[in-house]
């Protein structure tokens, strides 16, 4: 069972003690990501995440931070998404004091030295280059930019290279001071915890600024009208995403859509894997999934395809989607999907890092934090008619968008598949 309380500065704390482990994960979530940015500051959330590891007043550089954490064998990292930023340290429970101290120090006392900031611009530009050179990763940016258009949800999390080059230190710090405040932050701790945990939390995390106002993001008004999104690249394999409007985090039908995604393309016995890969030999990988946000979301199928047979592959993928949309699946197929989700979820709960991540995402976007038993019960309770009903909505091909990275320039060639 988890426990929840708030500090006087507004930081919300979630703890999930585990007796079966000697490890502990300390994870901080800040409710800010690229969808909170302006065009001028696109990439700032991700840039800030990088700069948190560049030195504090007490630990003046990256080497001092990494040596201290490497010295206890800790795992540590950070991540930025469109709607939140996270920082975590996973370590032997005996070093939880250091983990709390380190994260608090980075969040409050990072120096953001001008020379380090300028050096990091080059690192981030190379990170952008790396993703743009990797079609399997970059196709998601092409798809979301096409689906959401020129809006914060459609922009790249890392920003644009020219924007990173010009972004000023003063505006980045103002952005940090606006969002890195107590009421916009969650501290999640899972694993083996000491009896004096609450004292340690207050000692280090009462240092977070406690401003009262929490800025909101600009809501997404809808989806782009243009439905074909091509990016020309001489590749040996074409990368494709096809999909359309989905559900937000809090939608009551989210479990039903998750089950739909498993049956369609969630594992090696799914419809798409068997038909498109095993029977037709058109791809190496293919998968279906959903990407929910706080107010909107999308459903997608992604594949790496034989570039010479893409005109054969797209109709074959759409045919499998169409079958599912018409409710052409059995109670047995749904039962197997439920067992798959439950099995994967239970395996994930063996790790304190996964537990902290799961609880933190719930804290950010859900009204209630569910227990593992409640999550499993929800999945088991989904009825086949509920899945069929939501399939009609989410798998409606007339609402789909198509994004492709590959050696193609003529958009009209692909319009017939969608329109």
How much is the pLDDT for 206?
Answer: 97
The pLDDT tens digits for 57-84 are 999 999 999 999 999 999 999 999 999 9
The pLDDT tens digits for 258-273 are 999 999 999 999 999 9
What architecture is domain 3-205? 2-Layer Sandwich (3.30)
* pLDDT for 212 beyond 80: no
Residue 10: both structure tokens together? 């507004």
Share of the chain above pLDDT 70, in %: 100
How much is the pLDDT for 419?
Answer: 74
CA–CA distance, 104 with 331 (Å, rounded to integer): 50
* pLDDT for 211 beyond 90: no
Query: Which of 11, 25, 32, 82 lies closest to 359 in space, CA to CA?
Result: 25
Same fold, 3-205 and 228-418: yes
CA–CA distance, 125 with 165 (Å, rounded to integer): 8
- Judge contact between 199 and 101, C-beta under 8 A: no
* pLDDT for 10 beyond 90: yes
Question: Which residues lie closer than 8 Å to 268 by C-beta, 6 or more apart?
Answer: none
How much is the pLDDT for 213?
Answer: 83
Strand partners, 13: 5, 187
Higher pLDDT pick, 211 / 127: 127
Question: Which residues lie closer than 8 Å to 65 by C-beta, 6 or more apart?
Answer: 53, 55, 56, 59, 102, 106
How much is the pLDDT for 387?
Answer: 98
The pLDDT tens digits for 381-404 are 999 999 999 999 999 999 999 999
Instruction: For residue 193, give Cα distances in angstroms to 59, 147, 187, 204.
Output: 25, 44, 14, 16
The pLDDT tens digits for 226-245 are 999 999 999 999 999 999 99
H helices of 279-411, in order, are 310-325, 331-348, 352-365, 372-381, 384-394
How much is the pLDDT for 215?
Answer: 84
- Judge contact between 69 and 78, C-beta under 8 A: no
How much is the pLDDT for 214?
Answer: 85
Q: In this structure, which topology does domain 228-418 adopt according to CATH?
A: Cytochrome Bc1 Complex; Chain A, domain 1 (3.30.830)
Would you list the domain boundaries of the chain?
A: 3-205, 228-418
């Amino acid at each position: 069972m988890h426990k929840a309380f708030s500090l006087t500065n507004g930081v919300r704390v979630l703890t999930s003690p585990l007796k079966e482990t000697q490890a502990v994960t300390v994870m901080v979530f800040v409710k800010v990501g690229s969808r909170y940015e302006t065009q001028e500051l696109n990439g700032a959330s991700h840039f800030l995440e990088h700069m948190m590891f560049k030195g504090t007043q007490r630990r003046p550089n990256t080497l001092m931070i990494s040596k201290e954490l490497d010295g206890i064998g800790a795992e540590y990292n950070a991540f930025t998404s469109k709607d939140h930023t996270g920082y975590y340290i996973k370590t032997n429970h005996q070093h939880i004091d250091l983990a709390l101290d380190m994260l608090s120090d980075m969040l409050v006392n990072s120096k953001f030295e001008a020379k380090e900031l300028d050096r990091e611009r080059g690192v981030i530009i190379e990170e952008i280059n790396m993703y743009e050179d990797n079609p399997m990763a970059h196709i998601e940016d092409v798809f979301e930019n096409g689906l959401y258009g020129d809006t914060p949800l459609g922009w790249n999390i890392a920003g644009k290279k020219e924007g990173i080059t010009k972004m000023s230190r003063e505006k980045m710090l103002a952005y940090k001071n606006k969002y890195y405040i107590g009421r916009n932050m969650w501290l999640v701790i899972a694993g083996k915890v000491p009896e004096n945990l609450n004292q340690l939390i207050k000692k280090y995390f009462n240092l977070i600024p406690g401003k009262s106002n929490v800025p909101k993001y600009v809501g997404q008004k809808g989806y782009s009208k243009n439905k074909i999104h091509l990016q020309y690249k001489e590749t040996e394999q074409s990368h494709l995403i096809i999909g359309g409007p989905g559900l937000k985090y809090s939608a009551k039908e989210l479990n039903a859509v998750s089950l739909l995604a498993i049956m369609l393309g969630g594992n090696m016995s799914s419809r798409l894997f068997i038909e498109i890969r095993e029977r037709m030999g058109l791809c190496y990988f293919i998968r279906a999934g959903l990407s929910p946000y706080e107010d909107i979301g999308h459903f997608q199928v992604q594949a790496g395809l034989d570039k010479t047979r893409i005109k054969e592959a797209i109709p074959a993928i759409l045919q499998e989607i169409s079958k599912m949309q018409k409710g052409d699946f059995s109670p047995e197929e749904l039962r197997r999907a439920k067992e798959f989700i439950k099995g994967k979820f239970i395996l994930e709960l063996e790790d304190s890092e996964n537990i902290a991540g799961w609880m933190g995402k719930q804290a950010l976007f859900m009204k209630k934090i569910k227990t593992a038993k409640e999550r499993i019960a929800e999945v088991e309770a989904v009825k086949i008619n509920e899945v069929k009903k939501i399939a009609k909505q989410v798998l409606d091909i007339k609402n789909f968008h198509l994004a492709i990275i590959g050696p193609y320039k003529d958009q009209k060639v692909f319009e017939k598949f969608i329109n």
